[in-house]
Structure 1
């Protein structure tokens, strides 16, 4: 597959890493391995499908060390050892790396106008220690149209709240004025108020944990007439038949509790999903509810909200590919910094692969593994090396 040239960059990502002294928190005395070369080697290994084991990633780095040095004009004599690798990775300044990564990708926020962004979290299961139920976790903001990750943050699942991390991420990345889809965990006055105040749009799940609001919305669905209705065609996939029905209800005249009065609720969306296995099992149906501060004045407005609800699953698709294609959850480490850094490098890998638009991402990883020179060429075209 021929690489698609990216927008011209004045500095390659490798050079940017090399020039940023704050990236490496190691003591300058005794430094043997260049941090930029280590991170580039790991990225190449991820692009060749060697994820799932730090030892497998390291073997790839060693086997292709000479070629990588030639591509980057590096004079380092030997590759980093397996024992040193996690120790060096733990010394990467994650905040600096994330800033470099997303600045280098140069997501143009005005260009996102009209595009819905899905926000969701994911546990890094390889970081969960024996006897524990939570470890490190990652929150991602994903463009529904492309699955490109445009923002990311990490937190400790044992000690921190995803809600706080999401609010901070949206504020730091300047995303509160965008169109955002979120799950019911984030139906919180502070979150929706910040989006509404910034003139952003949201569609957010509603569940029974918001008991009073949930009951009021169910009653409205029973009494009011929908302002928009749509039923999808019957789809056959994943060994089952599936159909979705949507109804939108106006909330402009509804009265809410004081905590919700500045949330800007305009539309309630009722969604029914009907599924039946091809083997003939009984039909199953589930109903869910969503709230939005976007009004439905025309049928296109209702269709847009329904598409945003459906498109939210693109973030789950991205998580699935990280788990199944890149084997993210298989890498075991007891160093939180290493888990977070490897996750950020996977984000770099996923965003790069999306630029190729492969029909099969796993097949593309195999192609790069079989022809490492084509990966080097792709990395140079994309200004990574």
Structure 2
């Protein structure tokens, strides 16, 4: 009887990829390239700012294949060809890769010590085909404090809606009992009822498409006195001066439509942003409304809600980094599998760089590009290699 060899427990993410069955969907006949080596090579190329074109990423993999193979003890492997690269990527089990990624670099949640998370979706514009207006979309979960991406899910923007994807992601990640910030798209009874029922806290934007509730909230903010308020100091940035003011008002659930009775709506938050361009011009003002099932009884509790609204925009900063720093939208592909897999690899890069906390992410990518061995050392420290 032949006994199958027992693989040692993986101590690096590379070893985990190399030893996980089911990650590689290719036929076993004629395999030449290691899935783990290719995915790691792409990750290093992304860390060097080579995103935007698959050909650019491939050239980086070829030019730096020798030090990578030495670092992974796979010196007998040759770099994959440009023609084979998208074919191989399309065979990777993207769902399993994401599970491995967030399992290895994930965090442990504590129901008694809740954390704030932001959820939002982003369209992968490089996946939009000619003649179409929508493509693949990615929903991310971001922690407010560390700005780490702790979960993702994908859907086809031309066929599916973001709302059920968000609910499924909250369920899969066990986040219903945490503290969640969402944009106005997700002010939906199915979503907020589930968070309220699980003992979680939510803050969700509200806009005019919720006509009755929106008018009720505006009237509430005009007719009654705010329970708590705060005005932040004037901040300078992006060519303007900006000052934010916050007010929160109590809500009476019995005054709302029956569809909201199980949502636990307790607080209305009004945010006013006054802006003045540094080059002159007329000042502008923007007013936004949010609702929450949290009912603050002290100023610090109200400040926590105000801060959570401010920190929700960190997910937009993350999307900006994907678009501008990593050039995500410029990488065009007709393959759904490749588009989603590359998005997961960028998530890995953003989380890794977030641990390093560079002052300037672009400068860090350029530094890695100039000093590839420094990048190898960093990946060893982070247990990627």
Give the TM-score category using the shorter length: over 0.9
Can you give the 5+ residue segments of structure 2 that lack an aligned partner in the other structure? 1-8
Q: Report the counterpart of residue 193 of structure 1 in structure 2.
A: 193
Residue 308 (structure 1) shift: 0.8
1:280 and 1:32 mapped to 2: Cα distance? 62
Q: Report the counterpart of residue 272 of structure 1 in structure 2.
A: 272
2:230 and 2:243 mapped to 1: Cα distance? 11
2:112 and 2:312 mapped to 1: Cα distance? 16
2:349 aligned with 1:336, yes or no? no
Deviations 1:207-266 (A, max 9, x none): 010111111111111111110011111111111111111110011465211111000111
Could you tell me whether the CA contact under 8 Å between 2:127 and 2:334 is conserved in 1? yes
Deviations 1:242-296 (A, max 9, x none): 1111110011465211111000111100111111111111011111100001111
1:133 and 1:326 mapped to 2: Cα distance? 23
Could you tell me whether the CA contact under 8 Å between 1:118 and 1:312 is conserved in 2? yes
Tell me, what secondary structure is at the counterpart of 1:247?
Answer: strand
1:330 and 1:113 mapped to 2: Cα distance? 40
Deviations 1:169-210 (A, max 9, x none): 000110111111000000000000111111111100000101
Equivalences, count: 377
1:213 and 1:23 mapped to 2: Cα distance? 47
Q: Report the counterpart of residue 5 of structure 2 in structure 1.
A: none
2:75 and 2:233 mapped to 1: Cα distance? 60
Residue 307 (structure 1) shift: 0.6
1:114 and 1:199 mapped to 2: Cα distance? 10
Can you give the 5+ residue segments of structure 1 that lack an aligned partner in the other structure? 1-8
Tell me, what secondary structure is at the counterpart of 1:110?
Answer: coil
Tell me, what secondary structure is at the counterpart of 1:33?
Answer: coil
Q: Report the counterpart of residue 88 of structure 1 in structure 2.
A: 88
Could you tell me whether the CA contact under 8 Å between 1:142 and 1:151 is conserved in 2? yes
Equivalent residue runs for 1:310-325 within 5 Å: 310-325=310-325
Tell me, what secondary structure is at the counterpart of 2:130?
Answer: coil
Query: RMSD over aligned Cα, in angstroms?
Result: 1.3
Deviations 1:54-83 (A, max 9, x none): 000000000011111110011443100000
Q: Report the counterpart of residue 241 of structure 2 in structure 1.
A: 241
- Which structure is richer in relative contact order (CA contacts within 8 A, separation 6 or more)? 1
Could you tell me whether the CA contact under 8 Å between 1:181 and 1:308 is conserved in 2? yes
Could you tell me whether the CA contact under 8 Å between 1:249 and 1:267 is conserved in 2? yes
Could you tell me whether the CA contact under 8 Å between 2:253 and 2:261 is conserved in 1? no
Deviations 1:86-124 (A, max 9, x none): 000000111110110000013111299353111000010
Could you tell me whether the CA contact under 8 Å between 1:50 and 1:56 is conserved in 2? yes
Q: Report the counterpart of residue 115 of structure 1 in structure 2.
A: 115
Q: Report the counterpart of residue 22 of structure 2 in structure 1.
A: 22
1:223 and 1:111 mapped to 2: Cα distance? 37
Q: Report the counterpart of residue 6 of structure 2 in structure 1.
A: none
Could you tell me whether the CA contact under 8 Å between 2:49 and 2:325 is conserved in 1? yes
Could you tell me whether the CA contact under 8 Å between 2:127 and 2:336 is conserved in 1? yes
2:349 and 2:99 mapped to 1: Cα distance? 16
Q: Greater shift after overlay, 36-45 or 72-81?
A: 72-81
1:160 and 1:335 mapped to 2: Cα distance? 17
Equivalent residue runs for 1:1-385 within 5 Å: 11-110=11-110, 113-252=113-252, 254-385=254-385
Could you tell me whether the CA contact under 8 Å between 1:33 and 1:76 is conserved in 2? no
2:148 and 2:327 mapped to 1: Cα distance? 19
1:112 and 1:49 mapped to 2: Cα distance? 40
Per the normalisation by structure 1, the TM-score is 0.96
Tell me, what secondary structure is at the counterpart of 2:280?
Answer: coil
Residue 132 (structure 1) shift: 1.0
Tell me, what secondary structure is at the counterpart of 2:133?
Answer: coil
2:230 and 2:76 mapped to 1: Cα distance? 61
2:111 and 2:174 mapped to 1: Cα distance? 14
Q: Flag the 1:29–1:253 CA change in 2: closer, same or farther, 3 A.
A: closer
Q: Greater shift after overlay, 182-191 or 129-138?
A: 129-138
